[in-house]
Amino acid sequence: MTLHFESEGIEAPADLSGGLAEGDGVVSKSPMRLAMGRFRRDKLSMVSLVVVLLVIIAAVAAPILVKFGVLDPYTYHNTGKDNLLDEFTLPKGSWGGISGDHWLGVEPQSGRDAMSRFWYGITFSLTIALLASAFAVALGTVLGIIAGFSRGWVDAIIGRLIDLTLSFPQTLMLLALAAIGLEVVKKVTPLEGPAAEAGYAIAVLGIFGWPPTARVIRGQVLSIREREFVDAAILLGASKPRLYFREILPNLWAPILVLFTLSMPAYVSAEAALSYLGVSVKPPTPTLGNVLRDSLQYATADPVYFFVPAILIAVIVISFNLLGDGLRDALDPKGNR
C-alpha cells in the first residue's frame, strides 16, 4: 500500500498489516484546510457568514438600485396627489403606511420610502465601518510589528503612544473636533458633502481605534522574531522593511483577520452612535444611525419606522461578532481547550 501525502506531493511506502484496505490512502491537510473544516462544522458561524454576505451584497447593490430608480430614498411624498401622510404628518394607514409600493411604509414628515432609506443606509454605515476597521487594523499592525521587532526605546515610545491614545475619550473627541476636523478633511482631500462627513468619521475612528490591534500584534511578533527563519533573514542582510513585511507579516494573517472581523461590529455601532449625536453623515443622506435618531420621536406613533433600523443594526453587529468568534476558534483550536 502507498500513503499519499497531498500537501507535500510525495509518496512513501508503508507496511501496515490489518489496517487499511488495498488502495486506501491517508491524505494530510494543511493548517488552513483544518481551520476551514473546523469553521464549517460550527453551524452558528456558518449562519452568521451567510447573513454577513447578504448584508454586504445588499450594501453593494443599493447604489446601483438607486441609480436605476428601483430604490428612491430622497423623493418626498407629502404634498399634492402623492401625499402619503395624514394631517398629523404620520403615514396614512396601518403599520406605518405599508403598501405594495412601500413595503416598509413611509417616513413621517416627508413621506419618503422607508425601505429605500433603510437599504441605502446600510451602504453608508457598512462603508464607514469597513474603511475605519481597515484603517485601524492596518495602522495597528504596522506599529505593532515595529514595536515587537525593534523592542528597546522604539517599543517604549509606541507603548506610551498606545496608552496616550487610549486615555482620550473617543466620543468626546469626535464631538469636540467635529467642526475643525471636517474642515481639515475638506482641505486635504477632494471630498465634499456626505463623503467628507464620512471621511472625518473614518479618520477619527481609525486614529483612536488602532491601539488594541497594535497590542495583540506586538505580542505575536515578540514570539515570531525568535524563530529560525527570521534569524536566517537577518544573517542574510535583509532590510527592516523586508523583515517586517516579507518575513513577519505573512505569519500574522490569522490574528489580523480575526481582529478585522471583530472590529467591524464595533465600528457599525460606533457609526450609529456618531450619527445619533450628529457628527457623522447628516440627513438627507441616510445611514442606519441617523435614520434611527430621526425615528425616536415616532417610536410610539410609528413603531415600524423605529424598530426596523434598530433590528438591522442589531442583526449586523451580532452577525459580525459571531463570525469573528467562529474564525478565532477555527484558527486557534487551542483557544477553547
pLDDT in tens, 307-322: 999 999 999 999 999 9
Per-residue model confidence as pLDDT tens digits over 162-220: 999 888 777 777 777 777 888 888 888 888 888 898 998 898 889 889 999 999 999 99
* Domain assignments of the chain as residue spans, ordered by start: 2-30, 45-75+113-336
Least confident of 87-96, 110-119, 304-313: 87-96
Q: What is the pTM of this model?
A: 0.85
Show Cβ contacts of residue 70 under 8 Å, excluding neighbours closer than 6 positions. none
Per-residue model confidence as pLDDT tens digits over 239-277: 999 999 999 999 999 899 999 998 998 998 888 888 878
CATH, range 45-75+113-336: 1.10.3720.10
Give the CA-trace dihedral at 240, 244, 246, 249, to 10 degrees: 180
* Confidence label for 333 from pLDDT (cuts 50, 70 and 90): low
Give backbone dihedrals phi and psi of 87, rounded to 5 degrees, phi first: -65, -15
Give backbone dihedrals phi and psi of 91, rounded to 5 degrees, phi first: -60, 140
Q: Which residue has the higher pLDDT, 7 or 35?
A: 35
Q: How many CB atoms lie within 10 A of CB 215?
A: 18
Question: According to the model, what pLDDT value does residue 279 have?
Answer: 81
Q: How much is the mean pLDDT over the chain?
A: 86
Q: 161: number of CA atoms within 13 Å, CB side?
A: 18
Using the predicted structure, report yes or no on whether residue 17 has a pLDDT greater than 80: no
Question: According to the model, what pLDDT value does residue 3 have?
Answer: 46
Least confident of 17-21, 110-114, 186-190: 17-21
For 317, the grid coordinates are 453587529
Question: According to the model, what pLDDT value does residue 26 have?
Answer: 57
Question: According to the model, what pLDDT value does residue 184 have?
Answer: 86
- For residues 319-326, give the mean pLDDT: 92
Q: Which residue has the higher pLDDT, 16 or 119?
A: 119
Name the residue among 241, 229, 57 with its Cα closest to residue 146: 241
Question: According to the model, what pLDDT value does residue 7 have?
Answer: 43
Question: According to the model, what pLDDT value does residue 94 have?
Answer: 82
* Confidence label for 116 from pLDDT (cuts 50, 70 and 90): very high
Cis, peptide link before residue 284, omega less than 30° from 0: yes
Q: How many CB atoms lie within 10 A of CB 175?
A: 14
Using the predicted structure, report yes or no on whether residue 15 has a pLDDT greater than 50: no
Q: Which segment, 1-10, 23-32, 33-42, 140-149, is predicted with the most confidence on average?
A: 140-149
Per-residue model confidence as pLDDT tens digits over 21-76: 444 555 677 777 888 888 888 899 999 999 999 999 999 999 999 999 999 999 99
